[in-house]
Amino acid sequence: MPRLRFAFADFRYFRIGQDTTVFMDPQPFPHTADFAGPRGLVNSRQGLARVTVPLSDNLYWASAIEQPFSDITTFGRGDNVLDVPDFTTHLRYEADLGHVQASSIVRTLGYESPTGEVTRMPG
């Protein structure tokens, strides 16, 4: 069944919609038979509001406010709380022979116990 995977609008340096997370570097992603790709790679599409600014001919900075996503295994003893957006950023240098990208994410991980008490930790 067809699914909408990417949907976004660009206006100059800005992008709003569903796209790969700014934390991810999609270029080196290998082509595999496994749709999710090999383990250890970040493969996530998020709802986001993003800005990408060229700092020079080969250097780019991007930052975004993204729909929060985390998997917390609770074994039925509570619920994952996702009520604070993720803040992501990367600095990328591109050259003729390849590129280098450094990424970072700031987020809040939340957990609601069966008693209703919510615990949040920065991540």
Task: Determine, yes or no, domain membership for 109.
Answer: yes
Name the token pair of 13.
């340096």
Task: Determine, yes or no, domain membership for 87.
Answer: yes
Task: Determine, yes or no, domain membership for 2.
Answer: no
CA distance 49 to 33: 31
Average pLDDT of the chain to the nearest whole number: 88
Is the pLDDT higher at 96 or at 45?
A: 96
- Structural domain span for residue 90: 7-122
Domains identified in the chain, total number:
1
How do residues 49-93 score in pLDDT, each as one tens digit? 999 999 999 999 999 999 998 777 778 788 888 889 999 999 999
pLDDT exceeds cutoff 70 at 37 = no
Task: Determine, yes or no, domain membership for 1.
Answer: no
Task: Determine, yes or no, domain membership for 88.
Answer: yes
Contact 60/80 with Cβ under 8 angstroms?
A: no
Contact 94/60 with Cβ under 8 angstroms?
A: yes
State percent of the chain over pLDDT 70.
93
Task: Determine, yes or no, domain membership for 78.
Answer: yes
Task: Determine, yes or no, domain membership for 28.
Answer: yes
| Mean pLDDT, residues 12-26 | 92
Nearest to 51 by CA among 36, 61, 38, 40: 61
**pLDDT of res. 3:** 82
Is the pLDDT higher at 36 or at 84?
A: 84
Task: Determine, yes or no, domain membership for 20.
Answer: yes
> pTM of the full predicted structure?
0.81
